[in-house]
Amino acid sequence: RTGALNESGSKPGSMSRWASERAAFEASLREAEQRGELTVCYQPRVDAADSALLGMECLVRWNHPKFGCVPPDQFIPLAEETGLIVSIGEWVLREACTQTQNWRAQGYPNARVSVNLSAVQFQDADLFGTVQRALGDSGLPAEWLELEVTESTLMGDPGATALTLENLKSLGVHLSIDDFGTGYSSLSYLKRFPVDTLKIDRTFISELKQEEHGEKLVDAILAMSDGLKLPVTAEGIENEVVLEALKRMGKMKGQGYHYGRPEP
Ligand code: C2E
Ligand code: MG
Ligand code: MG
C-alpha cells in the first residue's frame, strides 16, 4: 500500500517511474482533503496508577481509495515537503476541537485532547491565528487542548521556539514535548520553554521488556523531568509487564495498546 513512495524497492533505471508515482501520490494527497479521505482516530491517555481516563491523542489517517488506510508516517513527510501539512494540520486541529467539545457536551467534560504539530506548522506564521480560530469556532476552552511538538522540532532555533511557545501558551493551551529522549535537547533551553508535559518516546518504554537496562534509561529520563519539574506521559505501554515496571518508577500518565489502540 505504500509502494508509491518506496524508492528502495525500485529497479535500476526506474527513477523516473518513481518520480511520476511520487507526483501522483502528491496529487492524490492534495485531493484527499477535498474528497473527505482524511480521518482522525483517538487514543486514550490515562493515569497509570488507576487507569482513569485523562484525555486522548488525535491521530490522522488517510483512507486512500486504492492503498487503503495509510498511516501518518507514510504521508506526513510528503505533506511536510509540499507544505500541504499546514492545511491538513488545520483540518485535524479543527476536527479534534469540535469532537472534544461535543464529548464535553455529552457529559465527558474533563478529557484533554492532544494534537500533533509538525515542524512546518510550528514555523507557520499563522499558527497562533489557526489555533485561536479552531478554539473560537468550536467553543472548546483552551485548557482542554494540548499541542504536541516533537523534541527535534523545538531544538531547531531555540530563541524562535521560546517565542512561539510563549505565544501559544498565552492562549491558555497545554504544550507537550513529544518523542522526548530522541532529540538531543539542551537542558538549559528546555528549562526556558513553557511546556507542561514530557512524552517519553515509545522506544524507551518498549525497552522495559528487556529488564534492567531499559529501567535505567527510563529512570534517567524521569530524573531529568523531575529536575525540570515536569510531569511525564509514557508512550507505547503495550502490556502489564511494562506497566508494572513504570508504576514502580513513579507517578505518570500512560498511553499505549494496553489501554486502547487509536480508534475512529
Ligand atoms: P506520535 O505523536 O508519537 O503518536 C504515537 C504513535 O504511536 C501513534 O502512531 C500510535 O498509534 C502509536 N502507538 C500508541 N501506542 C502504541 C503501542 O502501545 N505500541 C505501538 N507499537 N505503537 C503505539 P501513528 O498514529 O501511526 O502516528 C505516528 C506519528 O505520526 C505520530 O507519532 C505523529 O508524530 C505523527 N502524526 C499522527 N497524526 C498526526 C497529525 O495529525 N499531525 C502531525 N503533524 N503528525 C501526526
Ligand atoms: Mg504525539
Ligand atoms: Mg510520540
Q: Does residue 89 carry a pLDDT above 60?
A: yes
pLDDT in tens, 26-50: 898 999 988 999 999 999 999 999 9
Give the pLDDT mean for 194-203.
96
Place of cell 472548546: 140
Please indicate whether residue 178, judged by its CB atom, sits closer than 6 Å to ligand 1. yes
Residue 91 · residue 116 · CB < 8 Å: no
Class of residue 152 by CB neighbours under 10 A (exposed 0-12, middle 13-18, buried 19+): middle
Residue 12's pLDDT is 53
- Does the CB atom of residue 55 touch ligand 1 within 6 A? no
- pLDDT score, position 4: 45
Which of ligand 1's atoms lies nearest the C-alpha of 179?
A: 3
- The model's pTM: 0.93
For CA atoms 166, 148, 242, 262, give the dihedral sign.
positive
pLDDT-based confidence at residue 208 (cuts at 50, 70, 90)? confident
Ligand 1: residue whose CA is nearest its atom 11 = 262
How high is the mean pLDDT of the chain?
Answer: 91
Ligand 1 atom at shortest distance from the alpha carbon of 79:
44
- Averaged pLDDT for residues 161-177: 97
**Test site for ligand 1: of 148, 202, 209, most ligand atoms within 8 A of the Cβ:** 202
* Nearest residue to 114 via CA among 131, 136, 139: 131
Give the residue-averaged pLDDT of 140-168. 94
Region 61-68: mean pLDDT is 90
Q: What is the pLDDT of residue 13?
A: 58
User: What confidence score (pLDDT) does residue 126 get?
Assistant: 97
Give residue-wise pLDDT tens across range 121-152.
Answer: 999 999 999 999 999 999 999 999 999 999 98
